[in-house]
Amino acid sequence: MPRISETQNGTTAVLIAGNGRGPAETIESLLLRGDPKKFGVQRATSYDAAIKAIAEETHDICFVGETLSGRSGIEFIRETVASGWCVPVILLTNPGGNEAGLEAIAAGAMDYLLAEQLEPESLARAIRHGLDRKRTSLQLRDERQAKAELQQQLLDLQAAKEDFEELSAQHARVAEELYSAREDIKGALDKAEESERRYRTLSESSPVGIWHISFDGKTLYANAAMNRIFNMNRDDDLSGDHYEAYVGGDGRKIMEEHLAILSGGETAEWELEITPKGGGDSRYVVVSGAPLLASDGVAKSALTTVIDITDRKKAEESMRRLAMHDPLTDLPNRVMFQDRLSHALAQAHRNGSQFAVLYLDLDHFKIVNDTLGHPTGDLLLKGVAKRLLRCVRETDTVARLGGDEFAIIAPDLKSGDYVVALAERIIKSLGEAFILQGQKVYTATSIGITAYPTDDTELDTLIKNADLALYAAKESGRGLFKFFTPEMNAKAVSRVAIEKDLRQAIEGEEFALLYQPIIDLRTRHVISAEALLRWHHPKKGIMPPDEFMPVAEDSGLIGPIGEWVLRTALKQAKDWQEAAARPPGVSINLSSRQIRHGFSKELVTKALGEAGLSPDMLTIEITESLVMEDTGSSIDLMKSLKDIGVILSLDDFGTGYSSLSYLNKFPVDYVKIDRSFVRDITVDKDDAVLIEAIITMAHRLHLRVVAEGVEKKEQLEFLRSQGCDFAQGYYFSKPVAIKSFVEFIRNWSRKGGRANPKSRPA
């Protein structure tokens, strides 16, 4: 853009538009008259040249005449103004041209100069004004231009800003979307990562095995704990394995069943025994799982947790062993016996085989315990257990049911032969002496046997049968075995009926006592009468004690019955005091368990007082087995009875296996040889020897001997020859009612004590 550079270096550029001489020439000469360097003058003689020159805007001021090459100066002014050129134009008027001058100013000229009045001062003034004007208009134009530029810039800026805003809005939207997308992804990732991490941590550090298994049995994943369970290294990979690689037999069936449950969409839990892939003992695990849905919504596998319960199992096992075994003999106990029995039952049922159950009871074990001490008793039980195990086959079960009771299960029997042989073998084996802590100890056993399926097919009934058979074996003498028979059962059933009736018996006065005399073999006096109980059953007639005493004992009815016997016997003995010169005393039998049911020294003292009899008129017969059942309390009772002067007799002597060795431990006065020995003394040499030995031994211990069951003269002769003190039996008299007995003693003393042949059995 042209500037007034000329003025800056002191020269004012002047354009004079005009032709010819006239005012233009005047101006030029005026300007150049003073300092020629002060002005640079250019002349444009035509309109077009003038326009061309002014358009360059290099001039500071332009003078134009009223006409220029035929065109008007005013027109020139208008054109320059319209063109926006910044060179101020002054019109030089022709003479008298005020009017033209005014028109020129209106057209945009800066001023006009009247040609006739041209003077240097007015010209200088006009030029000064012109210069100012040019400067101002240039400035104005610059400002305008700057303003326009600014405006444009502003507009541009505005547009740019809008663009920017639009962009940034877009950006923000995108950013936001991005952000939220990222957040989502991050959240998802975090979650995935966390659950993955949690899963991993859980999975890898968990003591619980995690086992992902396909329904067809293949391992898809197994965690570190699974490796531990399988005795594998941490890094070993179990995946791909089929469970059949480490689950055998029953386990496979269990797996199959439970995978089927899982594939049916249900959860399942099961126990499993596995063989560790890495070797070692088998382990027990609890597997619990749920079906795992695949992305298509169908379950093809199950995710399971596996807990190693081997230790628990082992603990349980030893607990079970403790609970199932008798710690003393290490034989199976009653619990395990029942378990084995039900096992044997199921097995026999399956194969249609036979088996037998043997119940054993040691005879008089208690006496060993009480006289030789519990440690010896324990040793005896251990010894018995050992011998029993030696007698049986490997497949047989020997159990200790408690105390001195043992049981044997003998499975897979072809016939009864084995059982008979076994029972005989056991009786023989246990009959031999045990050497315990340097001393010989004897025991014996009774055995009851029942067979499946001959006797019964129910477990409880078989146990009951064996018990009944044992009971029967004991009843018929010790050291015997007996097979169960239906009669035993009938007997058991009748026992129930007997008990019911027995409760009525005392009140109904259905009892009576018979008396059997006991004869002094030296003086031939009747020294006593044994009171023997009879029950007049209202329907069944007279019942012997053997049929109801066991029931009375078991039911506890023995208490009141025994008391009735004591009182009645003493009262009746008092009654016969007048019948003879030397009136006999009375003997009563004291049954086992009677002590526990009210029989005491006090009761005896009271009954003696009531009857008005002295204690030495009463003999109490106590069986050896009673003493052995309850040694402590029975010996105490015996001592206290002896203290008050009652005579004690050891009944059924000889039926106990080790009678002689314990004889001196009992505070008795008499020993009563069991009638089973007396029966055969004349035919059986062994019995004769035994009786001889008993008599000798008893006498050495200052005991007197009674022989019971004497039926024959020869028996009596033998007994007398051996120095037996007293005798009792049918040879002298059967047990008779009180009236007959009183008669008997009268006759007896009259005849001088000879046996009445009439009283002997036919």
CA 336 to the chain's CA centroid:
22
Strands 283-293 and 299-308: antiparallel
482 token code pair: 């007996």
Q: Using the rule CB under 6 A, which residue among 209, 377, 550, 709 binds ligand C2E?
A: 709
Kindly identify the residues of this chain, within the stretch 313-372, that bind ligand C2E according to CB under 6 A: none
Q: In what order do the strands lie in the sheet with 354-362?
A: 397-402, 405-413, 354-362, 445-452, 481-483
Stretch that binds ligand C2E, among 154-162, 183-191, 476-484, 542-550 (CB under 6 A): 542-550
Cα distances from 316 to residues 229, 272, 311, 319, 449, in angstroms, run 19, 15, 8, 5, 34
> Which one of residues 133, 283, 675, 704 is an interface residue with ligand C2E (CB under 6 A)?
675
Q: Quote the least distance from Cβ 533 to ligand C2E, whole Å.
A: 4
Stretches 2-10, 380-388, 527-535, 638-646: which one binds ligand C2E (CB under 6 A)?
527-535
Check residue 564 for interaction with ligand C2E (CB under 6 A). Answer: no
Q: Which is nearer to ligand C2E, 215 or 511 (CB)?
A: 511
For ligand C2E, the closer of residues 401 and 549 by Cβ is 549
Binding residues among 507-526 for ligand C2E as defined by CB under 6 A: 516
Strand 219-222 to strand 209-214: parallel, antiparallel, or no bridges (unpaired)? antiparallel
Cis peptide leading into residue 453 (ω within 30°): yes
Helix (H, G, I), strand (E, B) or coil at 345: helix
Least Cβ distance, residue 594 to ligand C2E (angstroms): 6
Smallest gap from residue 668 Cβ to ligand C2E (A): 15
| Binding status of residue 668 toward ligand C2E by CB under 6 A | no
Say how many residues touch Ca ion, by CB under 5 A: 4
Using the rule CB under 6 A, is 648 a contact of ligand C2E?
A: no
User: Residue 529: what are its φ and ψ, rounded to 5°?
Assistant: -135, 130
DSSP code of 280?
S
Q: Decide which of Ca ion, ligand C2E, none touches 729; Cβ closer than 5 to 8 Å per partner kind.
A: ligand C2E
By beta-carbon proximity to ligand C2E, the closer residue of 53 and 557 is 557
Among 385, 735, 736, 742, binds ligand C2E (CB under 6 A): 735
Q: Are 646 and 620 in contact (CB under 8 A)?
A: yes
What's the CA gap between 577 and 573, in Å, rounded? 6
- Closer residue to Ca ion, CB minimum distance, 203 or 589: 589
Q: Measured between alpha carbons, how far is 208 from 210 in angstroms, rounded to an integer?
A: 6
Residue 375 token pair: 């440690």
Q: Which stretch binds ligand C2E (CB under 6 A): 117-125, 208-216, 225-233, 545-553?
A: 545-553
Q: How far is the CB of 334 from Ca ion (least distance, A)?
A: 34
**Strand-pair partners of 52:** none
Nearer to ligand C2E among residue 443 and residue 589 (C-beta): 589
- Give the binding range for ligand C2E (CB under 6 A) out of 15-23, 68-76, 340-348, 582-590: 582-590
Distance between CA atoms of residues 671 and 321, nearest Å: 47
- Out of 121, 296, 394, 546, the only residue in the binding site for ligand C2E (CB under 6 A) is 546
State the DSSP H helix or E strand holding residue 211, giving kind and residue range, or none if neither. strand 209-214
**Closest to 18 in 3D by CA, of 53, 51, 61, 50:** 50
Told to check if 593 binds ligand C2E by CB under 6 A, we report no
> At CB < 8 A and 24+ separation, what contacts does 130-134 make?
130/60, 130/61, 130/88, 130/90, 131/4, 131/7, 131/12, 131/60, 131/61, 133/88, 134/4, 134/60, 134/61, 134/86, 134/87, 134/88
Q: Binding to ligand C2E by residue 103, rule CB under 6 A?
A: no
Type and span of the H or E element at 355:
strand 354-362
624 binds Ca ion, rule: CB under 5 A: no
Binding flag, residue 411, ligand C2E (CB under 6 A): no
Backbone angles phi, psi at 403, to 5 degrees: 50, -125
- Rounded to 5 degrees, φ, ψ at 303 are -100, 125
Report if residue 753 touches ligand C2E, rule: CB under 6 A. no
Query: How, if at all, do strands 405-413 and 354-362 pair?
Result: antiparallel
Choices 269-277, 459-467, 491-499, 703-711 (CB under 6 A): range interacting with ligand C2E: 703-711
404, 455, 624, 651: residue in contact with ligand C2E (rule CB under 6 A): 651
Is 289 near ligand C2E (CB under 6 A)?
A: no
In angstroms, rounded to a whole number, what is the distance separating the alpha carbons of residues 309 and 312? Answer: 5
Query: 137-141: long-range contacts (C-beta < 8 A, 24 or more apart)?
Result: 137/86, 137/88, 138/1, 138/3, 138/4, 138/86, 141/84, 141/86
Candidates 9-17, 97-105, 493-501, 531-539; binding stretch for ligand C2E (CB under 6 A): 531-539
Q: Which does 709 bind (CB under 5 to 8 A by kind): Ca ion, ligand C2E, none?
A: ligand C2E
Rounded Cα distance, 135 and 137, in Å: 6
Return left, alpha or beta for 426; rule: phi > 0 is left, psi -120 to 50 is alpha, else beta: alpha
Helices (H), 120-234: 120-205, 224-229
| 532, interface contact from ligand C2E, Ca ion, none, CB < 5-8 Å by kind | ligand C2E
Residue 236 contact partner, candidates Ca ion, ligand C2E, none, CB within 5 to 8 A by sort of partner? none
Token couple for 22: 């006239």
Helix (H) or strand (E) holding 49: helix 47-56
Q: Compute the least distance from the CB of residue 537 to Ca ion, in Å.
A: 22
Residue with smaller CB distance to ligand C2E, 51 or 557: 557
Q: Which residues, 638 to 657, sit near Ca ion by CB under 5 A? A: 651-652
3-class secondary-structure state, position 361? strand
Q: Which of 278, 431, 453, 545 binds ligand C2E (CB under 6 A)?
A: 545
In the shown chain, the binding pattern of residues 596 to 635 toward ligand C2E, with x for contact by CB under 6 A and - for none, equals -------------------------x--------------
Distance of CA 146 to the CA centre of its chain: 96
Site string for Ca ion, 570-599 (x = CB under 5 A): -------------------x----------
Question: Which one of Ca ion, ligand C2E, none interacts with residue 656, CB within 5 to 8 A by kind?
Answer: none
The answer to whether 556 contacts ligand C2E (rule: CB under 6 A) is: no
Residues in the site for Ca ion, rule: CB under 5 A? 589, 621, 651-652
Residues in the site for ligand C2E, rule: CB under 6 A? 516, 531-533, 544-546, 549, 562, 565, 588-591, 621, 651-652, 675, 708-711, 729-730, 735
